[in-house]
């Protein structure tokens, strides 16, 4: 049995003056060799406007001071065809790992998970809401997905969930069924933050902290949201740390979907964590990423 968990005390093996990104994408400009097969049949605007080859992503990472990345499947470009993602990881195994997508409702979901792991990918992505999906998909806790959830839980494979707040009750159902699941919530499920501390409007999200396997992904969307209304970035970050702890929070750029230069995304991330302790900053900007994706430790001596 494979276990994808990683000990936190190995964080020091990566130079934390550079950071680790757990949410960039790669999209090839060559649509003949890598055909577009977006989920729902509709390609996202950002992926059509900003394709980025994996070699170019490495250059962007170098310019931004990003040491390593867990590249997330561009679901609104390639759907469940993770070929280009796998080729990116194969070309740069010292810098990248990959978070792949499969149809978890399909009868062969477990076999597909094994296949993409054999191609060097080390995380699973479920795309249940986004720019091309109206509202929150209701299939998240469909019983047909239970075999995939059980398998991922058994082997410690992190499950990255793109969702909205209405999906939280469905996720709770899954977490009750699979308490060993390691889950990463993209963009913190995009909570409403403008009411300010203690952020009662997002209470359903904070309640998920009672599940020890739940992690959250901090992105520019959340940083911007925490600047609105009665909220401030320091107050939001303090509440996030008090609720989940730094060891369950990791930064992701969402590049190029964020439509912001990668160096600027790094600057915004560093500004957001500036009021945290050095240990918390280290965790959010890299340590938590390594615990979730220990394949990124390879070649880091």
> For 75-96, how does the pLDDT look when each residue is reduced to its tens digit (9 = 90+)?
999 999 999 999 999 999 999 9
Count of H-run helices and E-run strands, the chain: 13, 8
pLDDT of 261 higher than 90: yes
Q: Cis omega (within 30 of 0) on the bond before 198?
A: yes
Angle at 111 between CA 108 and CA 114, to 5 degrees: 150
Q: In this structure, is residue 279 part of a structural domain?
A: yes
Average pLDDT score over residue span 239-256: 98
Domains of the chain: total: 1
Q: In this structure, is residue 45 part of a structural domain?
A: yes
Contact predicate 296/20, CB 8 Å: yes
Predicted confidence (pLDDT) per residue in 4-60, tens digit: 334 344 444 445 467 999 999 999 999 999 999 998 788 888 888 889 999 999 999
CA-to-CA separations, 80 to 84, 102, 104, in angstroms, rounded: 11, 5, 10
Alpha-carbon span 243 to 102, nearest angstrom: 31
Q: In this structure, is residue 216 part of a structural domain?
A: yes
Q: In this structure, is residue 68 part of a structural domain?
A: yes
Predicted confidence (pLDDT) per residue in 5-18, tens digit: 343 444 444 454 67
Q: In this structure, is residue 166 part of a structural domain?
A: yes
Q: In this structure, is residue 150 part of a structural domain?
A: yes
Q: Which two tokens stand for residue 106?
A: 């399909």
CA-to-CA separations, 217 to 119, 129, 130, 151, 213, in angstroms, rounded: 25, 15, 15, 23, 13
Domain extent at residue 158: 8-297
Q: Cis omega (within 30 of 0) on the bond before 256?
A: yes
Q: What pTM does this model have?
A: 0.91
Q: In this structure, is residue 189 part of a structural domain?
A: yes
Q: Which two tokens stand for residue 249?
A: 């929070």
User: How many residues would you count in the chain?
Assistant: 301
* CATH number for the domain harbouring residue 95: 3.20.20.140
Please, is 182 exposed, middle or buried when counting C-beta atoms within 10 Å of its C-beta (0-12, 13-18, 19+)?
Answer: buried
Q: In this structure, is residue 173 part of a structural domain?
A: yes
Helix (H, G, I), strand (E, B) or coil at 120: coil
pLDDT of 270 higher than 70: yes
């Amino acid at each position: 049995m494979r276990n994808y968990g990683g000990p936190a005390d190995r964080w020091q093996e990566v130079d934390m003056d550079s950071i680790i990104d757990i949410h960039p994408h790669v999209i090839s400009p060559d649509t003949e060799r890598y055909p577009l097969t977006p989920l729902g049949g509709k390609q996202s605007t950002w992926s059509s406007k900003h394709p980025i080859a994996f070699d170019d992503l490495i250059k962007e990472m170098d310019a931004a001071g990003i040491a390593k990345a867990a590249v997330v499947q561009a679901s609104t470009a390639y759907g469940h065809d993770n070929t280009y993602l796998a080729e990116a990881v194969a070309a740069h195994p010292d810098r990248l790992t990959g978070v792949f997508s499969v149809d978890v409702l399909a009868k062969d979901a477990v076999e597909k998970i094994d296949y993409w792991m054999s191609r060097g990918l080390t995380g699973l992505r479920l795309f249940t809401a986004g720019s091309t999906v109206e509202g929150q998909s209701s299939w998240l806790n469909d019983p047909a997905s239970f075999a995939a959830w059980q398998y991922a839980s058994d082997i410690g494979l992190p499950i990255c969930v793109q969702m909205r707040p209405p999906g939280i009750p469905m996720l709770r159902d899954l977490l009750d069924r699979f308490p060993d699941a390691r889950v990463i919530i993209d963009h913190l499920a995009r909570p409403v933050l403008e009411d300010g501390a203690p952020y009662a409007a997002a209470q359903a999200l904070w309640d998920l902290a009672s599940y020890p396997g739940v992690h959250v992904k901090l992105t520019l969307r959340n940083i911007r949201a925490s600047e609105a209304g009665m909220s401030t970035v320091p107050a939001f970050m303090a509440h996030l740390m008090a609720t989940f702890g730094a060891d369950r929070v990791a930064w992701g750029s969402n590049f190029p979907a964020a439509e912001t230069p990668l160096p600027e995304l790094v600057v915004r991330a560093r500004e957001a964590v500036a009021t945290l302790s050095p240990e918390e900053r280290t965790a959010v900007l890299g340590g938590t990423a390594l615990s979730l994706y220990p394949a990124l430790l390879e070649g880091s001596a």
